[in-house]
Structure 1
Amino acid sequence: MTDCLFCKIAAGDIPSNKVYEDENFFAFHDIHPKSPIHVLVIPKLHLQSLADATEQDTALLGLMMDRVRHIADAELKLGVGYRVVINVREGGGQEVDHIHVHILGGKKLPF
């Protein structure tokens, strides 16, 4: 999708503070962090939100969760713990219409 902010970031058209990249996913630091470590993980394939996912997206979503775990453990060294958040649509706090996972850590997070 050519007008999607996150598609442009994943393509390298907009600079970001990259944490991780492979053939399917891109991870970068959030520009408005809510914790000392706040990283977004996005699929390179455009999918608007979790609410728009279908059974055909099951493998991609499962792989995305595996990458989230890898990034949190291996790249960010968050072995003491972290929070994983997916905001869904505007009412759920989603600000960019491209599915993304927030990894939050670096301090004890409140409930």
Structure 2
Amino acid sequence: MTIRVLLADDQALLRGTFKMLFESTGDMETVGEAANGQEAVELARTRHPDVVLMDIRMPEMDGLDATRLISESEDRAAVKVLILTTFEDDEHVAEALRAGASGFLGKGARPEELVEAVRTVAAG
């Protein structure tokens, strides 16, 4: 099974790096890239990813609000959100989980940890 990943981060360089990482795994494909939370919500609706890799701080709509909208929508019920952020404190973790995120990882994680986290979240 191929895991369909949507990348949501306002930094194009990071999105490009994540895309290369996921495309090299053999079991993941990137189905879209969003530079803000509003784009992430729209792409989650139209591209049907299995997992959205979501940054917290983005322009127009932050990742927590986007996660909430994705998680609460019936047509996106199968979409899982993995938060990837520099904000690793307990408050942000708790808020992300309340918003409906299925997982939370700091941007200091090793590439293999990120790949495994996506697989774990996709598997439920």
TM-score past 0.5 threshold: no
The two structures have a TM-score, normalised by structure 1, of 0.35
Bigger share in helix:
2
Look at both structures and tell me which one has the larger radius of gyration over its CA atoms: 1
Q: TM-score, normalised by structure 2?
A: 0.32
